[in-house]
C-alpha cells in the first residue's frame, strides 16, 4: 500500500513538473509570436493576427490573456475598419478592433466590438475574456463579468482556468467566500496540480472561515506543486544558500511558514503526504537560514516519526545521522540514538516480514502454475471419454478426481503454514475422509509428473529430451491415454521404461500406511511427494537414455517411515526444488518434525524424507 502511495505521489509530482514546463514553453511561444507582430514589413492585419495568436497561446498557460499592447497609431484603426468593410462577417477583424480600442482605453467601444466578434464566432474565448476584464477591472460591473465567465464555462466546461477566474471575482471583488470556495474547488478538481488554486482556497479557509486544518491541507498542496519547489528539487543535492532555485522555493514557504508553525499541532490530522511536504519545507528553511532552530524540533521529530511509520527507514536514518553528525544541533543526542536503535529493530523486523511475504507470493505464483498444469488431469480423461477410448464411468471418475485434486492443492496451500504434528496424527487415526495409502499417493504423484512431460506448452524442454522424434511422441501420447486411467503399477512402469528412463519402484511396504485428509494431511503429503518426483523426472531427462535412471522407494521400520527418490542427472545442470514445491516440502517436513536430506555425487541426486512411524504408535 505504501509503495502504491509513493508511486502515486511521484506521478503527481512528475505531472506537476510537466505542467510547469508546458507553461514556460507557452511563454516562449507567445513571446515569439509577439515579436513577429513587430515586423514592420507586415501589414496591419498580419501584425494583429500574430498578436491574437500570441494571446491564444498565452491562454494555454495562464488563466487570463497577456493583454498584449496593440499599436496606437491612427492608421492602424483605419486599416482594420477597411478590412471590416471588405469582409464584414470576419470575426477576427472585430477582435483586432477590440484590441485597438482596449489599448487606447476606449472601453465602451471595445465592448461593442467584442460583442460583434462573439456574435460572429461564439466559440472564440478571447472576446469573452477581454470583455470580462473590462467589466471587472474598469467598470466594476461584477455581475456582467460573472456572466461572461458563466458563458465561457458553458462553452468550455473542462477549462479549470475559467472556474478559477470566477472564484477570484467572488473572492476578491465580492467577498462571497462560499461561492469562491465552490469555484476554486471545481478548478482543483479539473486540475489538481496547480499550486495557485490551493493557495487561493487555503487563504479563504485561513483568513475568512477560520478552518485551520483545511487551510493547512491546501497550503501543503500549494508548496508541493509550486514551480519553485519543482525547480529546487531538480537541483537538490547541490543546494546552497546562494542557489536561485532554492531561494525562490524558500520564498514560497515563507508565505505560509508563520501559519504552519502556529498550527503545527494539526500535523497529525493531515495526510502523510501533506505532512511530509510541510515538514520537509520547514526543515529546509531552518536548516539553511536560521540560527535559532528550536522551533523546528517538533517538525524534525514528526518527520522522522512519519518516515518510520511509512517504513522509509533509510530516509529516517539519514535525517538522524545529520543530527548526530552536528549538521543540526537540535535536541538531546541520547534521544536521537534511541530513535536510531528503534529504526534498526524495525528494519530487521520489516526485512523478516517482507521475506515471509515474498515467500508467500512465490508460493502463490507457483500454485497458479501448478493448478494450470493439473488441469491436464481433468482434460485427458474427458477427451478420452469424448473420443470413446475409455469406459464412460472410468473417465468421469478420473475427471472428478482431477477436480478434487486441484481443490485440494488450493486448500493445502492455504494450510501450508498452519497445522501441527497433532493434525498429522489425527489424520492417521481418523482416516475415513479422503484417505489414501502412501503408496497410492506415490502412484498419483508419479502419474502427474510423467503426464507433464507430454505437455509441450509448459514442459517443452523436457518433452524434447524424452521424445526425440514426432513419431515417439505420437506413440507415447496414444499409450498414455490408456495408462493414465489405471492404477496398475506395472503398466505405469512399463510406459516409463519404454519411453523415458530405467525405473525402479519399491512402495508395497507402505500399502497399509493410510493417511486421512480431515486436516489436509493427505493432500500436503501428495504435493510434497509430487514435487520431489517431478524434479527427479525433469532433471533425469538431461541424461542420455542409456544412463537415465529413476528410483522411488517407500519403506517402514518399527521407528520410521522413509521415502527416497533418486535420479541420474548431469553434474553441470543445477538441481533445484524451488517455488511452490520447496515451500511445501520444507513446511510439511517441518510439520512432521524432520528435514529433507539431500545427497548428490557426480551422477545421482537423492532426496530422503524420514519421519517417525506414527502409524505403528497409533
pLDDT band at 105; cut points 50, 70, 90: confident
Q: Which three cell numbers stand for residue 396?
A: 468421469
Instruction: Output DSSP code: residue 527.
Output: H
Q: Which three cell numbers stand for residue 421?
A: 504434528
- The number of CA neighbours under 13 Å toward the Cβ of 167 is 25
Of 119-128, 150-159, 318-327, 412-421, highest mean pLDDT: 150-159
Closest to 279 (Cα-Cα) out of 216, 202, 234: 216
The answer to whether residue 14 scores a pLDDT higher than 50 is no
Contact call for residues 152 and 129 (beta carbons, < 8 A) = yes
Q: Using CA atoms, how far apart are residues 416 and 443, in angstroms rounded to an integer?
A: 22
Q: How many angstroms separate the Cα of 511 from the Cα of each of 77, 438, 507, 508?
A: 109, 7, 7, 5
pLDDT the model gives residue 5 = 42
Written as one string, the DSSP assignment of 201-232 is: HHHIIIIIS--HHHHHHHHHHHHHT-HHHHHH
Say what percent of the chain tops pLDDT 90. Answer: 25
Instruction: Output DSSP code: residue 136.
Output: I
Averaged pLDDT for residues 48-63: 68
Q: Using CA atoms, how far apart are residues 618 and 614, in angstroms rounded to an integer?
A: 6
Angle between helices 579-591 and 421-429 (to 10 degrees): 80
525 alpha-carbon distance from chain centroid: 37
Identify the burial level of 64 via C-beta atoms within 10 angstroms of its C-beta, where 0-12 means exposed, 13-18 middle and 19 or more buried.
middle
Instruction: Output DSSP code: residue 171.
Output: I
Averaged pLDDT of the chain: 78
pLDDT the model gives residue 369 = 61
pLDDT band at 341; cut points 50, 70, 90: confident
Between 89 and 66, the more confident residue is: 89
pLDDT band at 24; cut points 50, 70, 90: low
pLDDT band at 391; cut points 50, 70, 90: low
Q: Which residue in this structure is represented by grid cell 533509510?
A: 314
Residue 496: count of CB within 10 angstroms of its CB: 20
pLDDT in tens, 433-476: 778 899 999 999 999 899 889 887 668 889 999 999 989 999 99
Q: Which three cell numbers stand for residue 244?
A: 536561485
Between 154 and 394, the more confident residue is: 154
> Lowest-pLDDT range, 121-125, 191-195, 367-371, 546-550?
367-371
Averaged pLDDT for residues 222-243: 64
- Long-range contacts, stretch 78-86, CB < 8 angstroms, 24+ apart: 79/43, 79/44, 79/45, 80/44, 80/45, 80/48, 83/45
pLDDT the model gives residue 566 = 95
Q: How many angstroms separate the Cα of 604 from the Cα of each of 322, 464, 568?
A: 57, 22, 5
The answer to whether residue 362 scores a pLDDT higher than 70 is no
Q: Using CA atoms, how far apart are residues 199 and 485, in angstroms rounded to an integer?
A: 74
pLDDT band at 52; cut points 50, 70, 90: confident
Of 101-105, 244-248, 558-562, highest mean pLDDT: 558-562
Q: Using CA atoms, how far apart are residues 65 and 147, in angstroms rounded to an integer?
A: 18
Residue 349's φ and ψ, nearest 5 degrees, are -65, -40
pLDDT the model gives residue 395 = 59
Query: Full-prediction pTM beyond 0.85?
Result: no
Identify the burial level of 89 via C-beta atoms within 10 angstroms of its C-beta, where 0-12 means exposed, 13-18 middle and 19 or more buried.
exposed
pLDDT the model gives residue 60 = 61
pLDDT in tens, 303-320: 888 888 887 878 887 777
Amino acid at each position: 500500500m505504501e509503495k502504491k502511495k509513493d508511486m502515486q505521489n511521484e506521478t503527481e509530482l512528475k505531472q506537476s513538473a510537466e505542467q510547469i514546463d508546458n507553461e514556460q514553453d507557452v511563454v516562449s511561444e507567445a513571446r515569439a509570436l509577439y515579436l513577429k507582430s513587430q515586423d514592420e514589413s507586415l501589414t496591419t492585419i498580419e501584425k494583429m493576427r500574430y498578436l491574437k495568436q500570441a494571446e491564444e497561446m498565452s491562454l494555454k498557460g495562464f488563466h487570463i490573456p497577456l493583454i498584449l499592447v496593440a499599436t496606437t497609431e491612427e492608421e492602424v484603426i483605419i486599416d482594420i475598419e477597411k478590412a471590416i468593410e471588405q469582409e464584414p462577417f470576419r470575426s477576427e477583424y472585430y477582435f483586432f478592433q477590440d484590441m485597438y480600442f482596449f489599448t487606447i482605453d476606449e472601453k465602451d467601444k471595445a465592448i461593442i466590438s467584442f460583442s460583434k466578434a462573439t456574435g460572429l464566432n461564439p466559440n472564440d474565448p478571447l472576446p469573452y475574456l477581454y470583455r470580462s476584464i473590462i467589466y471587472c477591472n474598469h467598470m466594476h460591473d461584477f455581475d456582467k463579468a460573472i456572466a461572461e465567465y458563466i458563458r465561457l464555462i458553458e462553452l468550455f466546461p473542462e477549462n479549470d482556468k475559467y472556474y478559477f477566474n470566477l472564484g477570484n471575482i467572488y473572492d476578491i471583488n465580492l467577498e462571497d467566500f462560499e461561492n469562491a470556495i465552490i469555484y476554486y474547488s471545481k478548478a482543483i478538481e479539473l486540475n489538481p496540480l496547480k499550486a495557485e488554486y490551493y493557495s487561493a482556497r487555503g487563504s479563504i479557509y485561513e483568513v475568512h472561515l477560520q478552518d485551520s486544518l483545511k487551510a493547512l491541507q491546501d497550503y501543503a498542496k500549494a508548496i508541493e506543486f509550486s514551480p519553485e519547489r519543482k525547480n529546487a528539487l531538480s537541483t537538490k543535492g547541490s543546494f546552497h544558500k546562494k542557489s536561485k532555485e532554492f531561494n525562490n522555493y524558500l520564498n514560497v514557504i515563507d508565505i505560509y511558514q508563520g501559519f504552519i508553525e502556529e498550527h503545527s499541532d494539526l500535523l497529525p490530522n493531515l495526510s502523510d503526504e501533506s505532512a511530509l511536504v510541510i515538514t520537509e519545507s520547514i526543515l529546509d528553511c531552518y536548516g539553511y537560514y536560521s540560527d535559532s532552530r528550536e522551533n523546528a524540533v517538533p517538525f524534525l521529530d514528526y518527520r522522522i516519526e512519519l518516515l518510520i511509520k511509512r517504513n522509509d527507514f533509510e530516509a529516517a536514518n539519514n535525517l538522524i545521522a545529520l543530527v548526530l553528525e552536528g549538521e543540526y544541533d537540535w535536541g538531546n543526542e541520547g534521544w536521537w540514538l534511541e530513535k536510531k536503535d528503534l529504526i534498526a529493530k524495525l528494519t530487521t523486523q520489516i526485512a523478516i516480514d517482507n521475506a515471509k511475504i515474498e515467500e508467500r507470493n512465490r508460493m502463490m505464483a507457483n500454485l497458479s502454475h501448478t493448478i494450470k498444469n493439473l488441469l491436464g488431469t481433468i482434460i485427458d480423461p474427458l477427451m478420452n471419454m469424448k473420443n470413446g477410448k475409455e469406459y464412460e464411468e472410468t473417465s468421469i471418475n478420473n475427471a472428478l478426481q482431477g477436480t478434487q485434486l486441484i481443490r485440494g492443492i488450493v486448500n493445502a496451500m492455504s494450510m501450508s503454514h498452519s497445522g501441527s504434528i497433532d493434525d498429522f496424527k489425527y489424520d492417521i487415526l481418523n482416516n475415513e475422509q479422503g484417505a489414501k495409502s502412501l503408496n497410492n499417493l506415490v502412484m498419483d504423484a508419479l502419474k502427474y509428473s510423467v503426464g507433464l512431460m507430454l505437455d509441450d506448452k509448459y514442459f517443452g524442454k523436457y518433452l524434447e529430451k524424452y521424445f526425440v522424434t514426432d513419431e515417439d511422441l505420437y506413440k507415447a501420447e496414444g499409450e498414455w491415454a490408456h495408462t493414465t486411467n489405471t492404477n496398475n503399477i506395472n503398466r505405469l512402469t512399463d510406459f516409463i521404461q519404454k519411453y523415458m528412463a530405467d525405473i525402479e519402484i519399491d512402495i508395497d511396504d507402505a500399502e497399509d500406511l493410510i493417511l486421512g485428509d480431515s486436516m489436509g494431511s493427505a493432500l500436503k503429503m501428495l504435493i510434497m511427494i509430487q514435487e520431489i518426483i517431478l524434479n527427479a523426472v525433469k532433471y533425469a531427462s538431461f541424461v542420455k537414455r542409456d544412463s537415465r535412471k529413476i528410483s522411488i522407494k517407500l519403506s517402514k521400520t518399527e521407528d520410521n517411515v522413509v521415502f527416497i527418490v533418486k535420479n541420474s542427472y548431469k553434474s553441470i545442470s543445477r538441481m533445484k526444488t524451488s517455488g511452490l514445491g520447496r515451500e511445501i516440502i520444507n513446511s510439511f517436513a517441518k510439520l512432521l518434525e524432520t528435514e529433507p536430506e539431500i545427497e548428490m555425487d557426480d551422477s545421482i541426486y537423492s532426496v530422503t524424507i524420514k519421519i517417525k512411524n506414527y502409524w505403528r504408535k497409533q
